[in-house]
Structure 1
């Protein structure tokens, strides 16, 4: 009976204390969030409640499990201590990652709210994403190493491992040269402001938007919803187009092949009429000029502008479609034609 009472006291007391601390912490964070609604930190820290409770429960059990006068615990004290130590380290790593994520995300949210420049917001978002991945990886590695060190066998071979660390490091560096190159390229992209999440890029003649940036790869979502995954080293070793650098306003061209008899003045007026009715045109500029001529056709180039790549694409398609339809309806002679004539008759002399 005494054994059961001790077991219930230790387990029940630890659980009740854990739940109480969790409830009080959540209450304080809710009050802080109510007093400072402009700061999202307190509300995000409430997500750490579960990891905090698991960490606290593991710590309480680790310190009080020997008070349980139970034969099973006495016989397997080493195993119980080992399990509680692993639980404590894992919960601590989980709690550190949650707290770091809350601080970083709240800082980004406040910056994004107070900044009107979309390019800066995308740059900070890219950096925040990579920082969180780095922190998570570092904490996971440290936690795994701490868990391994709790085993006596691993501590015994620690000296030999350290002695051979230099050779292993050289071999691993050579074997993982490509991975390390992508890792450092990820740092260069994040803090060198080369490409950011949300940027419109052209890589390998594919147009798309940067959707995800990690330490080793970068994902681009194309206009037809495909995902192109490329190593980040590609963007540090090869040229690529970034349409979002220096502002997202763009100028585009529409090329149409016409006949030499095309009424260019009327075509220019029609282009202006089309642009005035096009919501995607930003009104910054337009032009129409004959840029080339051949024996059978002339090349007409229409210049249009838009506030971003998506609107530019829509404007170019609208101009191309409506100009061709207008020529076909009002001036069909202006469309490209192939001139043919009967062959000359052969003379009577052979």
Structure 2
């Protein structure tokens, strides 16, 4: 009877101690968080409760399963399984703690800084640092789990001896992967592109939505996602509309008739801009920048605080200027002339065309 109760006692003690320890830690973090609400670290550390309980419970079972005579026939397999679970849970706990520290640092920086480009840069760097750290911890955990097997320890020396050759072969086989990995680190710390930046790649306009160690995702204006390797941004030119100052200048080009009232259009443009919330009132203008034998090219200029507002502002200006010309000055719209210019017959300097010689035309219809 005693031998039957001992495994149950060990399991209950392990589960009970882990639950109590998790509750105590959670209560302590909650109290500290209440005393220091300006620091989100203590609140974020509460997410580590489950992996901490798994680590405590597994460690107690690993230390007491032999004395409990828990499945003596399979004691070695149970011990090996508990070791693997303990290693995996420890890695899980380390990743959760690192994520809490990184998220806390980002939250505190955002709370005291209102510089959007710097916030985006820090967010990109911390995201890639977290993913690199997670990848490193995962590799260490997997390697530690493999080396718990005696067979792996036996071949460990030969594996380390041939590590140089394996590294060369792996480097040649994974050139693109390594290139993307280093390109991702270069993007993170070189401040080339950040999460939230407005970019133009391959004639596609969009916002950087996600940056990983191997690829970058751009969300276009029509809600498509363009996934590209991060090495593209280190080896090809692209437009970044959010780098530095996000303010932009936009233009609207109109092809009009030579009789277009440019002065009145300039006045109308100012009225349109003053009624638009997108205009930041930094600059505006309307000038004739080119002319052809049939039309003139008019450029309307305005400024806005970012790429989204400048796009909307250009659409509003284009639409309202054309509608105003159509209603108030329809003669200013381009047209195809099919009649002589006014006053062409009365031009005294124009030489009269010689009358054709009737002899050259042959006999008329009444000739006999």
| Structures share fold, TM-score greater than 0.5 | yes
Partner of 1:22: 22
Q: Which whole-Å CA distance do the structure 1 matches of 2:268 and 2:203 have between them? A: 32
Q: Deviation of residue 165 (structure 1)?
A: 1.6
Aligned positions, number: 346
Q: Which has the larger radius of gyration?
A: 2
Q: What residue is the counterpart of 1:300 in the other structure?
A: 298
SS of equivalent to 2:252: strand
Whole-Å Cα distance in 1 between the matches of residues 250 and 314 of structure 2?
A: 7
Mapped partners of 1:266, 1:107: distance in 2: 55
Please state if 1:142 is matched with 2:140: yes
- Specify the alignment match of 2:181 in structure 1: 183
Is 1:221 aligned to 2:219, yes or no? yes
2:243 to 245, 259, 266: 245
The answer to whether the aligner puts 1:49 opposite 2:72 as a matched pair is no
Deviation at 1:209, TM superposition (A): 0.7
Distance 1:168 1:37 in 2: 51
Matched, 1:316 2:320: no
Residue number among 280, 283, 286 corresponding to 1:285 in the alignment? 283
TM-score where L is the length of structure 1: 0.97
> Which whole-Å deviations, capped at 9, do the CAs of 1:226-245 have from their partners, x for residues lacking one?
11111111111111111111
What is the CA deviation profile of residues 50-107 of structure 1, one whole-angstrom value per residue up to 9, with x for unaligned ones? 000001111010000001134xx22111101110000000000000000000011001
Q: 2:159 aligns with which of 158, 161, 165?
A: 161
SS at match of 1:245: coil
For residues 105 and 149 of structure 2, the distance between their equivalents in structure 1, rounded to whole angstroms, comes to 39
My pick for the range that moved more, 188-197 or 161-170, is 161-170
Task: For 1:114-153, list aligned pairs within 5 A.
Answer: 114-153=112-151
**Which residue does the alignment assign to 1:212?**
210
Q: Which runs of 4+ in 1 moved over 4 A?
A: none
For residues 80 and 175 of structure 1, what CA distance do their matches in structure 2 show? Answer: 38
Task: Give me the whole-angstrom Cα distance separating, in 2, the residues matched to 1:173 and 1:301.
Answer: 54
Aligned to 1:109: 107
Tell me what 2:350 maps to. none
Alpha-carbon distance between aligned partners in 2 of 1:171 and 1:18, rounded to the nearest angstrom: 45
Instruction: Tell me the SS of whatever aligns to 1:225.
Output: coil
**TM-score in terms of structure 2 length:** 0.92
Cα separation, 2, equivalents of 1:11 and 1:175: 48
- What secondary structure, in the 3-state scheme, does the structure 2 residue paired with 1:221 have? strand
Offset, 1:158: 1.2
Structure 1: distance between partners of 2:183 and 2:69:
57
Range that drifts further, 281-290 or 149-158: 149-158
Listed one character per residue, the Cα deviations across residues 292-340 of structure 1 (whole Å, up to 9, x for unaligned) are 1111111100010001111101110000000000011011110010112
How far residue 163 of structure 1 moved from its aligned partner, in angstroms, is: 2.1
Partner of 1:194: 192
* Aligned position for 1:10: 10
Aligned partners of 2:244 and 2:124: how far apart in 1?
A: 17
Deviations 1:10-67 (A, max 9, x none): 1111111111101100010000000000000001000000000001111010000001
